[in-house]
């Protein structure tokens, strides 16, 4: 096998698209991964213009695992998925990194209650038991607003104390 001008230009194009040396070797045929790496080094090709998952070849890949949910706008976490690309008689598996989008929670009006500053002896079954201040210092008190449905806190402090499980998982 010899490196013709056509093969070298194809190598440079595929390298610029972000394909790995193994993928380029499979695409060119009759050449090994190490031969591709050596030629790239001898040609002095720079780093890749795009990551491997963002090349034009991405449209020809078939996903072998689940795909992302949501849209492509916004920020979020990243997830990888395995895809298979068939080049000639070789099936190549590769990891593709995708961005997950988490829809923001709608903004709601928040009313922070002004503490009634009840002492421990003034608390009842229906008062908010949210502590205010340092218990070792003078002036320590509890919120004291009405709590609902046999909960220990008022509506505002209940939202702070008890978060739905889905939100806790999302923060991890």
d(CA 82, CA 84): 7
Q: Is the pTM of this model over 0.85?
A: no
Distant-in-sequence, close-in-space partners of 138: CB < 8 Å, separation ≥ 6 = none
The pLDDT of residue 170: 59
**What's the whole-number mean pLDDT along residues 18-24?**
90
The pLDDT of residue 154: 86
Residue 171's H or E segment, with its range, is helix 165-171
pLDDT band for position 73 (cuts 50, 70, 90): very low
8 A C-beta contact, residue 81 and residue 100: no
């Amino acid at each position: 096998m010899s490196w013709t001008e056509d093969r070298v230009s194809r190598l440079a194009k595929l390298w610029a698209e972000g394909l790995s040396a193994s993928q380029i070797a499979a695409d060119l045929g009759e050449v090994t991964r190490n031969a591709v790496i050596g030629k790239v080094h001898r040609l002095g090709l720079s780093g890749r213009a795009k990551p491997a998952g963002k090349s034009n070849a991405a449209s020809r890949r078939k996903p072998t695992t689940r795909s992302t949910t949501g849209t492509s706008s916004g920020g979020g976490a990243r997830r990888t998925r395995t895809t298979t690309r068939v080049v000639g008689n070789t099936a190549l598996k590769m990891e593709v990194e995708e961005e997950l989008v988490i829809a923001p929670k709608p903004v709601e009006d928040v009313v922070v209650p002004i503490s009634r500053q009840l002492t421990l002896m003034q608390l009842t079954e229906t008062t908010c038991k949210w502590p205010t201040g340092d218990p070792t210092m003078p002036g320590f008190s509890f919120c004291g607003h009405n709590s609902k449905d046999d909960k220990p806190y008022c509506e505002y402090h209940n939202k702070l104390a008890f978060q739905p499980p889905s939100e806790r998982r999302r923060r991890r």
